């Protein structure tokens, strides 16, 4: 495991200690938030350091190398890439349909008097829908030219 992980872990612990010390200060008001920030960073920093020393021990160093290699293969595996691309396409289509349904839904709710005005929601959703469609056209055109 790279030394960067060790530095990350130490930084997290340092942030946690600073947050904790600040929370004890009499003039500081956000005691609860600082304490929860400190506890989160202690956990993250602690886990990072444990993993660093665990995977750098002679016993598990080889195992970690294999694990990294396996992750790299999984990341570059062509079938996985194709599946991710297909999933992205389906998710995009689903997102478009959800936006359209939400748009129509907000207008219907306004017509029935359930909500006062659908202008803001319709404006935001409509704008987002148009942006998505334009982005799709631009990206498709770019990829067509590139490949």
Residues of this chain that bind other proteins (CB under 8 A): 73-74, 76-80
Shortest Cβ 74–other proteins spacing (Å): 5
What sign results for the dihedral spanned by CA atoms 19, 24, 28, 29?
positive
Q: Per-residue DSSP letters for 18-32? A: HHHHHHHSTT---HH
User: Nearer Cβ to other proteins, position 72 or 136?
Assistant: 72
User: Nearer Cβ to other proteins, position 77 or 119?
Assistant: 77
Shortest Cβ 57–other proteins spacing (Å): 24
Under 8 Å between Cβ of 10 and 41: no
Which residues, other chains included, contact 109 with Cβ-Cβ below 8 Å and sequence gap of 6+? Answer: 115, 118
Shortest Cβ 51–other proteins spacing (Å): 24
User: Nearer Cβ to other proteins, position 54 or 70?
Assistant: 70
């Amino acid at each position: 495991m790279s030394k960067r992980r060790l530095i990350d872990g130490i930084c997290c612990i340092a942030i946690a200690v600073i947050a904790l010390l600040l929370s004890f200060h009499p003039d500081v008001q956000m005691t609860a938030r600082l304490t929860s920030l400190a506890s989160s960073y202690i956990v993250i920093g602690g886990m990072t350091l444990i993993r660093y020393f665990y995977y750098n021990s002679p016993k598990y160093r080889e195992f970690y190398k294999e694990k990294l290699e396996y992750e790299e293969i999984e990341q570059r595996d062509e079938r996985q890439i194709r599946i991710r691309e297909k999933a992205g396409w389906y998710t995009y289509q689903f997102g478009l349909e959800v936006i359209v349904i939400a748009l129509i839904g907000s207008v219907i709710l306004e017509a029935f008097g359930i909500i006062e005005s659908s202008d803001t929601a319709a404006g935001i959703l409509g704008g987002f829908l148009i942006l998505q469609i334009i982005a799709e056209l631009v990206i498709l055109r770019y990829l067509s030219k590139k490949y």
